[in-house]
Amino acid sequence: MTRWPEIRQQFSPFLLKMAPRKGKSLLALAAFLSSHRRQAQVGIQKGFLMSQKRITIRTLRQTDADDIHEIMHMPNVLWGTTVLPSKTVDAWRKTVESWVIDENWHVFVAETNGKVVGIISLTVGKGRERHIGDIAMAVHDAYQGQGIGKMLMLTVIDLADNWLNLVRLELDVYADNERAIRLYQHCDFEIEGRKRCDTLRGGNYIDSYIMGRLHPQHPQHPQHPQHMQTHAGYADALTQVFQAHPDSKPESAEPTEPQQ
Ligand SMILES: CC(C)(COP(=O)(O)OP(=O)(O)OC[C@H]1O[C@@H](n2cnc3c(N)ncnc32)[C@H](O)[C@@H]1OP(=O)(O)O)[C@@H](O)C(=O)NCCC(=O)NCCS
């Protein structure tokens, strides 16, 4: 079973990369690591969770289906996701089974005392969207606001950046879901657009934000120095192709005389 010290080791490359970019000192990084280690090892000491709790982040198992059904029927989770309240436990078992065997679905759960209390999925795109990962997540109502969402998010960001080398991560979030938006912004996601009347919730149509995050080291990142060179190189290459093969010019480039 994966325990926090192993998880923390996996996080460190991501965190070390993030620190200089955000201008954080090593001291701040050490404080961040130590506070999260303390939270996971000593226990979450907020709300009713006063006793020692160990949170384990691990991959999804088929046997988690019943706990996931419970999470997905919590009022706050129904409020923040697109899940229908009528989805049955049998339907959830089938969904979990499909996630477990599909290699494009990377699903992690947060477990405490043998109970799954949080879930996050990273779905890798196909074909020309192979570089994109789509994220969805939920934490059981009784365990929200205690750092579990952030641990789950850091787990998939590490997977995306350092194991799958994805260029782009994206997700949809309701425009009034302040907690989720704050969490995503802390993890370098930016609001890229607004979808009006995106979902029906309790009789009202509500707007969503599209949020995205580029891999911090990717050349297509707007602040990467190679960004312009990449595009110039591509344009040059196309020009050379047209010069070498004049017949391949686009029809609109020069009108041709009609043949007799
Ligand atoms: C959104 C959700 C996944 C976040 O998980 P969580 O475990 O509650 O979040 P965390 O405790 O890790 O908090 C992460 C950040 O959220 C913010 N946050 C936490 N509680 C908050 C609150 N009450 N109000 C506003 N922001 C809050 C904080 O910025 C926190 O980061 P910080 O501790 O560094 O300040 C969880 O609340 C949830 O499942 N909500 C219902 C379903 C949902 O909305 N899913 C997301 C669909 S896009």
Minimum-distance ligand 1 atom for the alpha carbon of 177: 44
Query: Average per-residue pLDDT in the chain?
Result: 78
CB-ligand 1 contact for 183 (6 Å cutoff)? yes
Kindly state the percentage of the chain with pLDDT values over 70: 65
Domain residue spans of the chain: 4-45, 53-250
Question: Do the Cβ atoms of 173 and 209 come closer than 8 Å?
Answer: yes
Nearest CA to ligand 1 atom 3: 138
The rounded distance, in Å, linking the Cα atoms of 73 and 78 is 6
Residue 17 confidence (pLDDT) above 90: no
pTM of the model: 0.73
CB-ligand 1 contact for 178 (6 Å cutoff)? yes
Amino acid 202 reads G
Question: Do the Cβ atoms of 212 and 169 come closer than 8 Å?
Answer: yes
Nearest alpha carbon to residue 103 among 125, 119, 129 = 125
How many angstroms does the Cα of residue 242 sit away from the middle of ligand 1?
53
Question: 170-187, pLDDT tens digit by residue?
Answer: 999 999 999 999 999 999
Distance of CA 236 to CAs 225, 240, 244, Å? 18, 6, 12
At 221 the pLDDT is 66
How many angstroms does the Cα of residue 236 sit away from the middle of ligand 1?
47
Question: 54-96, pLDDT tens digit by residue?
Answer: 999 999 999 999 999 999 999 999 999 999 999 999 999 999 9
The rounded distance, in Å, linking the Cα atoms of 82 and 77 is 9
Helices 89-101 and 65-72, interaxial angle, to 10°? 120
Question: 140-150, pLDDT tens digit by residue?
Answer: 999 999 999 99
Residue 253 confidence (pLDDT) above 50: no
| Tokens matching residue 127 | 């074909």
Minimum-distance ligand 1 atom for the alpha carbon of 71: 39
3-state SS assignment for residue 196: strand
| Strand order from edge to edge, sheet including 115-124 | 56-59, 105-112, 115-124, 132-139, 168-174, 204-214, 190-201
At 222 the pLDDT is 62
The top-level CATH class assigned to 53-250 is: alpha beta
Scan for tokens 């996971």, then name that residue: 40
